[in-house]
């Protein structure tokens, strides 16, 4: 691992005060941020042998941000993107994605995760949380090999429903397999972490929810799930329990600060209060929600002070794994729904993609802002691109205007993962060839007809 010096740059710290250094530097030593300051205080002799990153003097300066954090993404579905477009949810699930997941080998899952991670790095993401993976050890290996930080989990369903045999497990097996994953991957706050998973309320028992909630409290584990994602889920839970999903989870004590709840689209004001009061982590997945669900009440949640975070969710229902695309959508879609062009401003979206993600994953002491002593999780943007020109307001340019084309250089834990647009830990040509080959082989094996 080298040491690095980023100079003559605009530094958006994303700290509590929202400090921006107009012309600043950052020194990276090993895995951490060693120093940050204005250029006129830089003492170069303090940093001998540090490799320097700076924009040419005739160009606009680099913009430096904390690496983005995706709190909900299904990397093992990356080889299935494009497999289920323009079909209804029944076909999406039963005819396309479940057969795809059931046919996935551990090596397929590794390549799928690598493809997802490559796209994440190329769009400035340095940390993610898997939403419900198959073969979590393969995902963990991809995290280790690529240098990104990732929390892995096992897609867990303990009720049979209509899921393929290969994806079924009993409540006992669900607990055992999740505990084994936690033993292997949780606890050190290193590159790989592990969390508990319950896929959704359709396919899980109350026993499992109670057991995992207890475990998550006792051992301070995150529990990842999808909640109030569709109208049919709300109807199903109401019929089964007499309550809406959020009220039901409240009634069994499952709303906790360790719950990572994705979507929460079909909820009312009382349920927003319940989420807020119990410190539940709300994850917003704009593209996927536009595709299959609707409009989560994000503006209201932000107004209440809920630190909503962002994810790109499932590649077969979003198709893009660049968080910058979802930042763009998050900034736009709530303006329409709330009939308010000032709703969910760029500033809020940037916080969702950085510090709020760190808070959701309980890593705000490590990442999410640029501060001395924190992990060097850093994205450098080169604004000398057509899409970023002109720049009147930096936050607006990043959220509404720029695409991931501006992401130039990325560090995670001080390791250089992309240098001037070139991935340094993943062979891009190889991953494209392998991903294309394996994706077609899975479709053939699973007998999926488009």
Q: What are phi and psi of 382, to 5 degrees?
A: -100, 110
Query: Which residue, 70 or 313, is less far from Zn ion as judged by CB?
Result: 313
Q: Could you identify the residue written with the tokens 């119990």? A: 278
Q: CB 262 → Zn ion: shortest distance, Å?
A: 5
CB atoms within 10 A of CB 356: 28
Residue with smallest beta-carbon separation from Zn ion:
131
- The span of 105-113, 128-136, 144-152, 394-402 binding Zn ion (CB under 5 A) equals 128-136
Q: Is 369 in the site for Zn ion (CB under 5 A)?
A: no
Query: Which residue, 27 or 163, is less far from Zn ion as judged by CB?
Result: 163
- The span of 78-86, 124-132, 250-258, 373-381 binding Zn ion (CB under 5 A) equals 124-132
Q: CB 131 → Zn ion: shortest distance, Å?
A: 4
Residue 152 parent element (H or E): strand 149-152
Quick check: 156 and 177 in contact, CB under 8 A? yes
Binding mask 291-320 for Zn ion (x = CB under 5 A): ----------------------x-------
Query: Which residue, 101 or 415, is less far from Zn ion as judged by CB?
Result: 101
Q: Could you identify the residue written with the tokens 């809406």? A: 244
Query: Which residue, 10 or 291, is less far from Zn ion as judged by CB?
Result: 291
Q: CB 287 → Zn ion: shortest distance, Å?
A: 11
- The span of 125-133, 201-209, 297-305, 325-333 binding Zn ion (CB under 5 A) equals 125-133
- Between CA 139 and CA 358 the distance in angstroms is 20
Q: What are phi and psi of 322, to 5 degrees?
A: -85, 120
**Pick from 285, 272, 276, 267: which is nearest to 228 by CA?**
267
Query: Which residue, 315 or 368, is less far from Zn ion as judged by CB?
Result: 315
Quick check: 307 and 275 in contact, CB under 8 A? no
- The span of 126-134, 136-144, 349-357, 371-379 binding Zn ion (CB under 5 A) equals 126-134
Query: Which residue, 313 or 369, is less far from Zn ion as judged by CB?
Result: 313
Q: How far apart are the first and last CA of the chain?
A: 46
Q: If binding means CB under 5 A, how many residues of this protein chain bind Zn ion? A: 2
Q: CB 295 → Zn ion: shortest distance, Å?
A: 17
Q: CB 422 → Zn ion: shortest distance, Å?
A: 30
Quick check: 225 and 231 in contact, CB under 8 A? no
Query: Which residue, 74 or 122, is less far from Zn ion as judged by CB?
Result: 74
Query: Which residue, 14 or 285, is less far from Zn ion as judged by CB?
Result: 285
Q: CB 174 → Zn ion: shortest distance, Å?
A: 18
Q: CB 101 → Zn ion: shortest distance, Å?
A: 13
Binding mask 80-119 for Zn ion (x = CB under 5 A): ----------------------------------------
- HEC assignment per residue over 54-105: CCCCCCCCCEEEECEEEEEECHHHHHHCCCCCCCCHHHHHHHHHHHHHHHCC
Quick check: 299 and 343 in contact, CB under 8 A? yes
- The span of 129-137, 175-183, 346-354, 410-418 binding Zn ion (CB under 5 A) equals 129-137
Q: Is 7 in the site for Zn ion (CB under 5 A)?
A: no
Surface-to-core class of residue 430, CB atoms within 10 Å of its CB (0-12 exposed, 13-18 middle, 19+ buried): exposed
Q: CB 74 → Zn ion: shortest distance, Å?
A: 6
Query: Which residue, 21 or 201, is less far from Zn ion as judged by CB?
Result: 201
Query: Which residue, 25 or 92, is less far from Zn ion as judged by CB?
Result: 92
As given in the structure block, the two tokens for residue 360 are 């959701």
Q: CB 371 → Zn ion: shortest distance, Å?
A: 31
Q: Is 131 in the site for Zn ion (CB under 5 A)?
A: yes
In sequence order, what DSSP letters do the residues of 251-311 get, joined into one string? HTT---TTEEEEE--S--HHHHHHHHHTTPEEEE-HHHHHHHT----HHHHHHHT---EE-
- Between CA 430 and CA 106 the distance in angstroms is 18
Q: CB 265 → Zn ion: shortest distance, Å?
A: 12
Query: Which residue, 133 or 297, is less far from Zn ion as judged by CB?
Result: 133
Is the peptide bond between 83 and the residue preceding it cis, with omega within 30 degrees of 0?
no
C-alpha distances (whole Å) from 366 to each of 314, 350, 377, 436 are 27, 18, 9, 36
- The span of 33-41, 123-131, 412-420, 435-443 binding Zn ion (CB under 5 A) equals 123-131
Q: CB 111 → Zn ion: shortest distance, Å?
A: 20
Which residues make up the interface to Zn ion (CB under 5 A)?
131, 313
């Amino acid at each position: 691992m080298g040491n690095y010096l980023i100079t003559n740059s605009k530094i958006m710290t994303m700290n509590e005060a929202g400090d921006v250094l107009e012309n600043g530097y950052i020194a990276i030593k090993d895995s951490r941020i060693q120093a940050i300051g204005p250029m006129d205080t830089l003492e170069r002799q303090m940093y001998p042998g540090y490799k320097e990153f700076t924009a040419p003097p005739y160009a606009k300066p680099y913009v430096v941000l904390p690496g983005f954090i995706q709190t909900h993404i299904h990397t093992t579905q990356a080889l299935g993107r494009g497999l289920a477009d323009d079909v209804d949810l029944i076909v999406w699930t039963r005819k396309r994605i479940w057969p795809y997941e059931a046919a996935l080998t551990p090596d397929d899952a590794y390549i799928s995760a690598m493809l997802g991670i490559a796209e994440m790095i190329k769009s400035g993401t340095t940390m993610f949380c898997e939403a419900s993976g198959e073969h979590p050890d393969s995902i963990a290996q991809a995290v280790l090999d690529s240098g990104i930080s990732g929390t892995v989990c096992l897609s867990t369903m303990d009720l049979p429903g209509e899921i393929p045999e290969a994806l079924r497990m009993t409540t006992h097996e669900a607990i055992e397999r999740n505990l084994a994953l936690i033993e292997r991957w949780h606890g050190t706050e290193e590159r790989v972490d592990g969390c508990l998973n319950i896929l959704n309320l359709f396919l899980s028992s109350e026993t499992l929810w109670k057991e995992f909630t207890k475990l998550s409290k006792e051992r301070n584990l995150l529990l990842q799930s999808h909640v109030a994602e569709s109208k049919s889920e709300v109807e199903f839970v109401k019929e089964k329990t007499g309550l809406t999903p959020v009220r039901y989870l409240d009634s069994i004590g499952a709303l906790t600060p360790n719950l990572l709840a994705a979507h929460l689209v079909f909820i009312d004001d009382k349920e927003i209060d319940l989420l807020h009061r119990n410190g539940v982590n709300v994850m917003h997945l704009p593209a996927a929600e536009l595709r299959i669900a609707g409009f989560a009440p994000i503006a209201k949640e932000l107004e209440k002070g809920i630190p909503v975070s962002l994810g790109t969710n499932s590649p077969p229902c979003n198709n893009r794994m660049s968080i910058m695309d979802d930042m763009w959508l998050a900034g736009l879609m709530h303006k329409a729904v709330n009939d308010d062009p000032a709703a969910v401003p760029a500033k809020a979206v940037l916080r969702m993609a950085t510090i709020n993600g760190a808070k959701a994953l309980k890593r705000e002491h490590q990442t999410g802002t640029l501060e001395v002593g924190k992990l060097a999780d850093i994205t450098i943007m080169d604004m000398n691109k057509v899409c970023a020109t002109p720049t009147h307001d930096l936050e607006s340019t990043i959220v509404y205007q720029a695409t991931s084309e501006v992401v130039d250089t990325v560090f995670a834990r001080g390791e250089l993962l992309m240098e001037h647009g070139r991935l340094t830990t993943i062979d891009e040509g190889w991953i494209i060839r392998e991903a294309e080959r394996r994706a077609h082989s899975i479709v053939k094996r699973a007998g999926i007809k488009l």
